[in-house]
Amino acid sequence: MKVNLNKLSLGLAASMVLFAALPAQAANKYGCIYAVDPYDKIVKDPYGNCIRTPFWTAAKNIPECGGVAAVEPPPAAPVVETMTLGADAYFDFDKASLKPSGMAKLDRLSADLRRVASVSSVSIVGHTDSKGTEAYNLRLGQRRADTVASYLTSKGVPARLITTDSRGKSEPVAPNTLPNGRDNPAGRALNRRVVITVTAKEKVISQ
């Protein structure tokens, strides 16, 4: 213990001599909490300890001098929201044109998209009911998605944010036929839709 105390005393004495020999510390990249040489490098005592100034605090300590490196917080998970434009207000059978009520809803959405700067993508996917061939419905779904995309860009939403696609009749959300095999107009109406997915760093859709 006596030897260790002697080493500690020698280290402290050396630190005091080194610090006293240094000129008054001007502002440096360490914020004046360590003594630095003319080359802005931290001065250390014979035992490798950084020479601290009276401005040093534990909270300011750096990894090179025994401090803990700051840990960057993980990036926040993106906020993903979905809006569905259904046939009741948007798309009639075999049509890709928007109704006035659909335009009003897209007006509100476009205002939200312009308001939030962190929007990274707007995905627009068109869907159809089961009437018609698969190829025809893929084209119809794409027309519906493109109609919505064109309307949003006409309202000032940047085109670079928007992607469009079609699922045709492959992803129904309701039965196209009744259990007895007969046509189900109500179910088919639910399947005629466009799904808009917005990704951002915060909530976007206000409606």
Alpha-carbon torsion 173, 182, 94, 103, what sign? Answer: negative
Q: Give pLDDT < 50 ranges for the chain.
A: 1-3, 5, 7-8, 10-25
Q: Where are the domains of the chain?
A: 2-65, 79-200
Q: How far apart are CA 140 and CA 132, in angstroms?
A: 10
User: What top-level class would CATH report for the domain 79-200?
Assistant: alpha beta
Report the run of H or E that residue 87 belongs to, with start and end.
none
Decide: helix, strand or coil at residue 135: helix
Instruction: Provide the residue type at 44 as one letter.
Output: K
Q: How far apart are CA 13 and CA 48, in angstroms?
A: 14
pLDDT number for residue 1:
44
Are residues 111 and 202 in contact, defined by beta-carbon separation less than 8 angstroms? no
pLDDT number for residue 114:
94
Strand ranges of the sheet holding 79-86, from the earlier edge strand across to the other edge: 79-86, 193-200, 121-127, 162-168
pLDDT tens digits for 25-64? 456 677 777 788 887 788 888 888 888 888 877 777 777 7
pLDDT number for residue 142:
96
pLDDT number for residue 4:
52
* Cβ-proximal residues to 7 (8 Å cutoff; 6+ apart), any chain: 47
Q: How far apart are CA 206 and CA 105, in angstroms?
A: 11
pLDDT number for residue 54:
83
pLDDT number for residue 121:
96
Q: How far apart are CA 86 and CA 91, in angstroms?
A: 7
| Degrees, nearest 5: CA angle 194-166-198 | 50
Are residues 31 and 60 in contact, defined by beta-carbon separation less than 8 angstroms? yes
Q: How far apart are CA 12 and CA 169, in angstroms?
A: 80
